[in-house]
């Protein structure tokens, strides 16, 4: 049996449906999951165990048998903890069949089959009674249904159903309660992920369309490793506030609700962003606490737990609001079954109930067309200055300029510099509509013409019966996931050859693929084997992950924003392949092989890949590495692009005292022009 899966095709800039093996989705779910991350989260695991042991003790002290309901059991780890803590029986529910099958094997391997029943159903489908999934109701409810936003995985409806249908009249809950915290801040950096800023050109300022500035923005939360945000990147306008609590030992309602909190503004500023996180108390007394707070809230030298399955939240207010120091304000969290969002108002009286705000949804199209990183990239003034400088070198008053990139500001730069005619090619009607509004707002609708055709369909008539003398691009395309997917620009350039003058200038001139061997501080955990966890044998899980990582798709690089994930350079950055945009795409495969020497001690976890674009002979822009500290090897990464990460299947230990003294990583790379695909292999050598 075959299945069809969407994959980016750089030759067309589109997402194609590709026939894959029937186990494709299964392997991807396992390989890309956070199971390894959670198994390595020692802080989480220990807190859960202490909370479970305390709950079992409280039930036993009442003279009752301890019957556990574990919703979302995953590997079965929490159920095994419960039995070890003295629980009499556990019902472990897991809806994802491959994980449920794994849990059965793990439970059996650890000798708990007689006390743990794994149920492969959604918890709302579980039945109780003779012939049912559960013989009797439970009196201990253990769950790990949380995401970065706390409720985004449908925790509240699942709790509501379980408490009403699967639990006894009195039950213990682990965790016992959750608390959501928030802080209102002003942040130019974070706000640049949500709004397009005015663009200063030589002779005028480009203004964003009014509907873009008043748009509530994207409906989804922005989850991020706030620990990697410099505290100097934001100004607190409030103290850290408790927004609301959820007591899991009481009946929960999943109905929509609002949670207003009155506060006094700490300083003058522009209210733009809400930073938020949560913690969970595993026991009623709150002595066993697991917190998601960012690292800069921990005492100096205090160990900070790292986890990628739970991060922190950035929420954007619908509009920026000026606030004054000492001003009385009300920050309200609005919540439905799956989402949280915020509004800022004047305080309401006790008689007034807070008005429920509709869930924000993009009305302008920009937040649908551009992701957070793209907003940041468009607002990156230093990057824009490089493009402006490069365009001034190549454009003349007679230039016929065509831009090939999605939602790019380069046509505006080209027009301001004085090109005779400017055209821009948009790959979708949504992108076309967005750019039309931008041009119209700035009275440039007649000056910049939009061509909404694929490059191979463009005719001379589309270009005013002229030929292009300057083909430009960032390049950026909304379908791109990995750095080399933007090579669609190269394919477009090749398709447009008949519409270009013989001496047509192409910007960028070329793209170069770079690689760097690195040691991750923490990111390695998401792919690291874990044969034992808290004393339990989970090697089956290790084998499943390894098997999935051996699957074809999982052997390729995967995208990650490395500014969030600190790492050290163990090698020098190495240019491994160059794509010359002045020439058309070749017909034959392009192959390269070699090795990168590891010049610093450390544990080599993987290889980072990124593109650097040569705009002109002396101006380049990088989508990856910006700087390496000579002493420590700490890397600084471009924050508005994701880099490609290839995790090594076997690690190289070059730390002091290890058996390896000199080592390298061998690479083999093949670019398949017919597919637009980059296949790669990296192998550590000792």
Q: SS3 letters for 540-556?
A: HHHHHHHHHHCCHHHHC
- Do both 518 and 494 map to the same domain? no
pLDDT given for residue 354 in this prediction:
57
Distance CA 183, CA 237 (A): 8
Distance CA 651, CA 605 (A): 6
| Within-domain flag for 4 | no
CATH code of residue 261: 2.70.160.11
Longest pairwise C-alpha distance within the chain: 90
Average pLDDT over residues 178-197: 97
Distance CA 443, CA 448 (A): 10
pLDDT given for residue 231 in this prediction:
85
67-71 and 510-520 strand pairing: unpaired
pLDDT given for residue 3 in this prediction:
41
Distances (CA, A) of 367 to 363, 441, 482, 609: 8, 18, 20, 27
Q: What pTM, to 2 d.p., does this model score?
A: 0.93
Question: How does DSSP classify residue 40?
Answer: T
For residue 298, is pLDDT > 90?
Answer: yes
From 13-22, 292-301, 415-424, 531-540, the region with the lowest mean pLDDT? 13-22
From 69-83, 191-205, 539-553, 613-627, the region with the lowest mean pLDDT? 539-553
Average pLDDT over residues 351-377: 84
pLDDT given for residue 686 in this prediction:
64
Average pLDDT over residues 416-437: 93
Asked if 263 and 329 touch (Cβ cutoff 8 Å), the reply is yes
pLDDT given for residue 22 in this prediction:
47
pLDDT in tens, 439-462: 999 999 999 999 989 999 999 999
Distance CA 415, CA 136 (A): 73
| Within-domain flag for 284 | yes
CA dihedral sign of residues 265, 266, 270, 271: negative
For residue 89, is pLDDT > 70?
Answer: yes
- Do both 441 and 555 map to the same domain? no
- In a 3-state reduction of DSSP, which class is residue 58? helix
For residue 158, is pLDDT > 70?
Answer: yes
Asked if 51 and 288 touch (Cβ cutoff 8 Å), the reply is yes
Looking at 369, 391, 426, which one is the last position of a domain? 369
For residue 185, is pLDDT > 90?
Answer: yes
**Among 80, 86, 132, CA closest to 106:** 80
Distance CA 20, CA 333 (A): 43
- Do both 185 and 284 map to the same domain? yes
Query: pLDDT-based confidence at 37, cuts 50/70/90?
Result: confident
| Within-domain flag for 1 | no
Distances (CA, A) of 654 to 335, 524, 618, 658, 662: 49, 16, 37, 6, 8
- Do both 527 and 596 map to the same domain? yes
pLDDT given for residue 428 in this prediction:
87
Query: pLDDT-based confidence at 651, cuts 50/70/90?
Result: confident
For residue 98, is pLDDT > 50?
Answer: yes
Burial class of residue 430 (count of CB atoms within 10 Å of its CB; 0-12, 13-18, 19+): middle
CB atoms within 10 A of CB 142: 27
pLDDT given for residue 553 in this prediction:
44
Residue 487 domain boundaries: 380-507
**Among 419, 219, 49, 85, CA closest to 410:** 419
* 240 vs 353, residue with greater confidence: 240
Burial class of residue 27 (count of CB atoms within 10 Å of its CB; 0-12, 13-18, 19+): buried
Burial class of residue 503 (count of CB atoms within 10 Å of its CB; 0-12, 13-18, 19+): exposed
Query: pLDDT-based confidence at 7, cuts 50/70/90?
Result: low
- In a 3-state reduction of DSSP, which class is residue 167? strand
pLDDT given for residue 19 in this prediction:
52
- Do both 265 and 160 map to the same domain? no
For residue 392, is pLDDT > 50?
Answer: yes
| Within-domain flag for 7 | no
Average pLDDT over residues 593-600: 95
**Among 642, 634, 643, 639, CA closest to 233:** 639
For residue 299, is pLDDT > 90?
Answer: yes
Average pLDDT over residues 298-307: 93
pLDDT given for residue 87 in this prediction:
98
Looking at 121, 147, 174, which one is the last position of a domain? 174
- Do both 397 and 362 map to the same domain? no
Average pLDDT of the chain to the nearest whole number: 91
Question: How does DSSP classify residue 164?
Answer: H
| Within-domain flag for 202 | yes
Average pLDDT over residues 615-627: 98
pLDDT given for residue 551 in this prediction:
46
- Do both 213 and 319 map to the same domain? yes
**Among 388, 268, 254, CA closest to 323:** 268
Looking at 174, 191, 220, which one is the last position of a domain? 174
Average pLDDT over residues 628-652: 94
pLDDT in tens, 45-64: 999 999 999 999 999 999 99
**Among 173, 162, 110, CA closest to 140:** 173
Alpha-helix residue ranges (DSSP H) falling in 274-425: 366-369, 372-378, 381-394, 410-417
For residue 217, is pLDDT > 50?
Answer: yes
Burial class of residue 293 (count of CB atoms within 10 Å of its CB; 0-12, 13-18, 19+): middle
- Do both 476 and 491 map to the same domain? yes
pLDDT given for residue 661 in this prediction:
58
| Within-domain flag for 426 | yes
For residue 78, is pLDDT > 70?
Answer: yes
Residue % of the chain over a pLDDT of 90: 81
- Do both 529 and 671 map to the same domain? yes
Average pLDDT over residues 246-268: 96
pLDDT given for residue 685 in this prediction:
83
Residue % of the chain over a pLDDT of 70: 91
**Among 207, 208, 475, 187, CA closest to 366:** 208
| Within-domain flag for 8 | no
pLDDT given for residue 456 in this prediction:
94
Distance CA 548, CA 25 (A): 10
Distance CA 652, CA 664 (A): 9
Distance CA 223, CA 209 (A): 27
- Do both 519 and 654 map to the same domain? yes
pLDDT given for residue 2 in this prediction:
47
pLDDT given for residue 545 in this prediction:
62
Distance CA 473, CA 511 (A): 12
- Do both 194 and 82 map to the same domain? no
What are the residue numbers of the active site? Answer: 144, 153
- Do both 247 and 343 map to the same domain? yes
From 11-20, 35-44, 531-540, 566-575, the region with the lowest mean pLDDT? 11-20
CATH code of residue 427: 3.40.50.150
Domain count across the chain: 4
Asked if 266 and 201 touch (Cβ cutoff 8 Å), the reply is no
| Within-domain flag for 5 | no
pLDDT given for residue 660 in this prediction:
62
């Amino acid at each position: 049996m075959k299945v069809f899966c969407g994959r980016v095709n750089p030759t067309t800039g589109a997402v194609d449906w590709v026939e894959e093996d029937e186990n494709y989705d299964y392997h991807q779910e396992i390989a890309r999951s956070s199971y390894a991350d959670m198994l390595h989260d020692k802080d989480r695991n220990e807190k859960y165990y202490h909370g479970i042991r305390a709950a079992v003790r409280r039930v036993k002290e009442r003279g009752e048998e301890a019957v556990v309901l574990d919703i979302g059991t995953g590997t079965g780890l929490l159920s095994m903890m419960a039995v070890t803590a003295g629980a009499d029986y556990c019902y472990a529910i897991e809806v994802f069949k491959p994980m449920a099958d794994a849990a059965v094997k793990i439970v059996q391997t650890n000798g708990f089959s007689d006390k743990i029943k794994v149920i492969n159903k959604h918890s709302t489908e579980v039945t109780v009674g003779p012939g049912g999934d559960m013989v009797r109701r439970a009196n201990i409810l253990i769950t790990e249904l949380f995401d970065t936003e706390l409720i985004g995985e449908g925790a509240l409806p699942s709790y509501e159903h379980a408490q009403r249908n699967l639990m006894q009249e009195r039950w213990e809950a682990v965790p016992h309660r959750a608390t959501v915290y928030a802080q209102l801040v002003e942040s130019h950096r974070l706000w640049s992920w949500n709004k397009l800023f005015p663009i200063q050109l030589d002779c005028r300022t480009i203004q964003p369309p009014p509907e873009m500035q008043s748009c509530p923005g994207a409906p989804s939360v922005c989850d991020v490793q706030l620990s990697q945000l410099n505290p100097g990147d934001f100004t607190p306008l409030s103290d850290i506030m408790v927004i609301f609590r959820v007591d899991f030992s009481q009946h929960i309602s999943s109905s929509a609700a609002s949670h207003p909190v009155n506060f006094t503004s700490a300083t003058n500023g522009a209210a733009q962003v809400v930073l938020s996180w949560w913690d969970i108390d595993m026991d009623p007394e709150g002595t066993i606490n697991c917190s998601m707070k960012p690292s800069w809230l921990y005492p100096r030298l205090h160990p900070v737990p790292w986890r990628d399955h739970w991060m922190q939240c950035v929420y954007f207010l619908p509009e920026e609001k000026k606030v004054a120091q000492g001003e009385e304000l009300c920050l309200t969290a609005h919540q439905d079954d799956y989402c949280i969002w915020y509004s800022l108002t004047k305080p309401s009286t006790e008689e007034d109930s807070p008005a429920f705000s509709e869930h924000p949804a993009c009305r302008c199209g920009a937040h649908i067309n551009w992701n957070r990183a793209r907003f940041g990239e468009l607002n990156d003034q230093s990057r824009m200055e490089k493009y402006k400088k490069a365009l001034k070198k190549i454009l003349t008053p007679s230039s016929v300029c065509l831009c090939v990139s999605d939602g790019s500001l380069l046509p505006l730069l080209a027009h301001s510099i004085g090109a005779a005619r400017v055209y821009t090619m948009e790959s979708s009607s949504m992108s076309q509509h967005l750019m039309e509004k931008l041009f119209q707002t700035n009275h440039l609708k007649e000056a910049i013409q939009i061509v909404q055709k694929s490059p191979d369909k463009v005719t001379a008539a589309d270009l005013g019966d002229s030929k292009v003398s300057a083909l430009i691009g960032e390049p950026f395309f909304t379908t791109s996931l990995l750095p080399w997917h933007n090579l669609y620009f190269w394919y477009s350039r090749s398709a447009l050859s008949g519409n270009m003058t013989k001496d047509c200038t192409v910007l960028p001139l070329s793209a170069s693929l770079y690689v760097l061997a690195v040691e991750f501080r923490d990111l390695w955990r998401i792919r690291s084997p874990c044969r034992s966890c808290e004393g339990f044998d989970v090697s089956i899980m290790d084998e499943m992950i390894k098997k999935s990582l051996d699957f074809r798709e999982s052997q390729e690089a995967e995208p990650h924003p490395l500014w969030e994930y600190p790492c050290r350079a163990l090698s020098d950055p190495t240019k491994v392949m160059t794509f010359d945009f002045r020439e058309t795409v070749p017909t034959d495969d392009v192959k390269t092989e070699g090795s990168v020497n590891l010049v610093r001690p450390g544990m080599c976890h993987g290889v980072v890949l990124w593109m650097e674009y040569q705009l002109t002979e002396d101006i380049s822009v990088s989508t990856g590495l910006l700087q390496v500290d000579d002493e420590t090897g700490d890397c600084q990464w471009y924050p508005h692009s994701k880099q490609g990460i290839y995790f090594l299947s076997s690690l190289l230990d070059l730390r002091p005292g290890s058996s390896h003294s000199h080592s390298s990583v061998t690479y083999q790379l093949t670019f398949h022009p017919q597919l637009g695909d980059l296949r790669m292999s990296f192998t550590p050598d000792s």
